[in-house]
Amino acid sequence: MKQNTRKLGLLVAVFLIASCAPAPAATEQIVPPTSESSTRQAFHPLDTQTGLEEIDNILKTVAGGDAQMLQSLVGFTTAECTNREGLGGPPKCRKGEAEGTKVDVLPSLGPEGSFMRSDEMENWTGIEVSGLYAIYRVSPAVTYEQYYPAGEYAIVYVGEENQPAISLRVDNGMIVRVDYILDTSAGSLAGLLQREASQLILEPVS
């Protein structure tokens, strides 16, 4: 009888302790950690805003997936085309174009440099991204070849897993260059900020 009474007392104590424990808030979601969720870096949502109109217009357009509107936010670089072979340098002349013909282009950097001409923009479907890594003011010390403007700001987006990150270079509220960043590791992206940022407008999610 005494043993049964002791067991009953223990059960009552456990019940009282459990009932007094604070319940999780209604907005919280308790998710068991997995190998993927515990190692993958977090990013800002696409609908993030900064309070800077020239940046926020681009953020809203990308978040809305409006490729035509994004095309209207491109600020072209005017350059004289060349017939010179090899990588780098100004845009290549098309067949029948005289060397030195002035053309309007959107420069792009990735494994190598390239240009999209203004009359090709109607085929541009914009960018496919899933999150926002950071936004920074480009340091005046950052220089590129004259046909690849550094821009005043850089908006760094991330894509789906195993897809390159994309940096939109912005000057006077217009996209002046698009970069594709193949190494999207945390160390590589942090290194980009260390090399190029004079001011962080939107810091990475810590």
Tell me the fold of 53-202: Nuclear Transport Factor 2; Chain: A, (3.10.450)
Give backbone dihedrals phi and psi of 107, rounded to 5 degrees, phi first. -75, 155
Tokens 């992206």 sit on residue? 189
Whole-number pLDDT of residue 146: 82
167 contacts 142 by C-beta, under 8 angstroms: no
Separation of alpha carbons 116 and 93, rounded Å: 12
Separation of alpha carbons 15 and 36, rounded Å: 36
Whole-number pLDDT of residue 40: 55
Tokens of 49: 């805003």
Q: DSSP for 43-103?
A: -B-TT---S-HHHHHHHHHHHHT-HHHHHTTB-PEEEE-B---SSSSSPBPPTTPPTT-EE
Whole-number pLDDT of residue 15: 35
Whole-number pLDDT of residue 91: 94
Whole-number pLDDT of residue 144: 80
Which amino acid, residue 73?
L
Tokens of 198: 């004079």
**Dihedral over Cα of 180, 184, 188, 194: its sign:** positive
Mean pLDDT, the chain, rounded, equals 83
Name the stretches of the chain with pLDDT < 50: 1-39
Tens-place pLDDT, residues 136-157:
999 999 988 788 999 999 999 9
Q: Report the predicted TM-score, pTM, of the whole model to 2 decimal places.
A: 0.79
User: In the chain, what are the domain boundaries?
Assistant: 2-38, 53-202
